Structure 1
Amino acid sequence: MTSIKKVDIYKCIDFAHENELFDKLNSIYNTLPSGECTGCGKCCNESVGINLVEFINIYNYLKDKEKLRKESLDRILDYYFLEYIEKRCCPFRDENNRCLIYEVRPLNCRLFGHWKKDDYNKNLDNVTQRNKDYQELMKSKHGFDISDEVVNFKIKYCENFKPKKDYLDKATRLSFSDEIMTLDSRFFANEIIDIEFRDRGIVEYFIESLLHQNVAYNIKLRVSKDEKIRERTINRLKRILIR
């Protein structure tokens, strides 16, 4: 059983259409500032945090694109189950550094580059420290090391991106996030979906649409510890889950 049931996802899609939530989400996206990007793809190297309405929007975008959906799920499974072993790029970045879901990319992707440098670097330091703390926890609790490459990986501040206006302060960035969270609240207030309200990355949302959170995490721990079963287990999951 999955954490996020497919039937509930489709209920969310129907609800979003009926209540114009996708249109409202796009209206928020359209208010974001623009800028000049070189398209290097260096920022596309993590499972960015997204809101429920953004996941539903992306899922809706992929549901009728069978080839893209299956290819994306294949990379999502690799990203999640190899996350402690090696650093991989975002599952939605292709070999030419293009975003495969650019039209529906989430808020955090759209805001990258708009941060003030000091804000960005302070946040980056906090992320790195949390990674190191988590590495120590996993070593003491489960007896294995998360790869140093993964723990110490940093998406450095982009000096090449140039906003058309000013860089955004923290309060302004959070105001956009608050607007999208208001859309999220509509699903919960109307009891359209029954899942735990917590932070998830784009990879985690898709994984929980395929497997129960606890099952997925236990498999992740097992393949992270045992190289012999890693490839076999992941390939088996792909055969079962990607349809």
Structure 2
Amino acid sequence: MLPLVKLHPAVSQSEENGLFEKLHEIYDQIPETECNRCATCCTVPPPAYIVEFLNMFRYVNKHLPEKWPEFIAGAVRYYFLELVDINQRCPFLGDDRQCQIYEVRPFTCRSYGLMGNGNGEDDLARRNMDKLVVKYREEHGVELPEEIVNFQLPRCQNVRVVNGKNKTPLELIQMLTADIGQLESLFVPMSVVESQYTFMPFVNHLVMSVVSEGARFRRPKVMQEFLANGQSEMLEKYVEKYKRTSF
């Protein structure tokens, strides 16, 4: 959501206002969990707020700057191909199936498996996918693959609470919408925060900052090329171009 030239000023502004410390104070209140680290939940990158993206951006700049070409290349591929290639995964997932930015993973990753069966979320995801099917068919002549359309992230039964700290799922939701929402209001009006307009995966935040609007506009063309040929020359050019982005 933030253009490239505004990333560093936004990080500085966040530091001056103590936003990252406040964010981690919120994270620290989430019940501590453990799991089998199978990375199934990393199939679909979950949404995050701008302040969380900036927290990740600052962390990578400080500790993993050499990883930016890899992360950007993966993010660009995911953004353009997520609706046509079932094999796309979160670009921050390493070859060892471990999260490379685990220390700054967003709230939704930290609270995964704590929010019940999520049937309401499944229904919403289904409706959103149905809208995308119609949109790409009618506006771009792109038929989304059935395996993508019918995909549903399996519910994980392996998340175990280590330290509950007396928190309930409802309190977690309130923490996300109220506490993190308040931090987000430094960048956008509260009405925008409440609309969840800025609530999107790190992948999308990164692509919106790095990739030009003109290139993003060609997303349907890339999808068409990939469906027809199993690859896209246009996408490869974008990957080579944008992975050289310097922060």
Normalising by the residue count of structure 1, what TM-score does the alignment of the two structures yield? Answer: 0.87
| Shift of residue 187, structure 1, vs aligned partner | 2.8
Count of matched residue pairs: 231
| Shift of residue 149, structure 1, vs aligned partner | 1.6
Q: CA contact under 8 A between 2:44 and 2:89: conserved in structure 1?
A: yes
Listed as ranges, the gaps of 5+ residues in structure 1 are 190-195
Tell me whether 1:35 sits opposite 2:36 in the alignment: no
Q: Which residue of 1 aligns with 2:221?
A: 222
Aligned-pair identity (%): 25
Q: CA contact under 8 A between 1:6 and 1:209: conserved in structure 2?
A: yes
Q: CA contact under 8 A between 1:81 and 1:224: conserved in structure 2?
A: yes
Q: CA contact under 8 A between 1:115 and 1:167: conserved in structure 2?
A: no
| Alignment CA distance shift 1:216-1:33 (3 Å) | farther
Stretch moving more, 154-163 or 60-69:
60-69
| Alignment CA distance shift 1:163-1:216 (3 Å) | farther
Q: Which residue of 2 aligns with 1:184?
A: 184
Q: CA contact under 8 A between 2:43 and 2:90: conserved in structure 1?
A: yes
Q: Which residue of 1 aligns with 2:193?
A: none
| Alignment CA distance shift 1:219-1:175 (3 Å) | same
Q: Which residue of 1 aligns with 2:241?
A: 240
Tell me whether 1:174 sits opposite 2:162 in the alignment: no
Q: CA contact under 8 A between 1:46 and 1:89: conserved in structure 2?
A: yes
Q: Which residue of 1 aligns with 2:18?
A: 20
Q: CA contact under 8 A between 1:210 and 1:241: conserved in structure 2?
A: yes
For residues 92-132 of structure 1, give each alpha carbon's deviation from its aligned partner in whole angstroms, at most 9, with x where no partner exists.
11122200100000000001011112xx1331232123212
Q: CA contact under 8 A between 1:80 and 1:203: conserved in structure 2?
A: yes
The code of the aligned residue for 1:60 comes to: R
The code of the aligned residue for 2:83 comes to: Y
- Aligned residue runs from structure 1 range 126-137, under 5 A: 126-137=124-135
Secondary structure in 2 matching 1:125? helix
Secondary structure in 1 matching 2:232? helix
- Aligned residue runs from structure 1 range 133-144, under 5 A: 133-144=131-142
| CA distance in 1: counterparts of 2:116 and 2:90, whole angstroms | 23
| Shift of residue 231, structure 1, vs aligned partner | 2.7
Q: Which residue of 1 aligns with 2:155?
A: 157
| Shift of residue 69, structure 1, vs aligned partner | 1.5
Secondary structure in 2 matching 1:226? helix
CA RMSD of aligned residues (A): 2.2
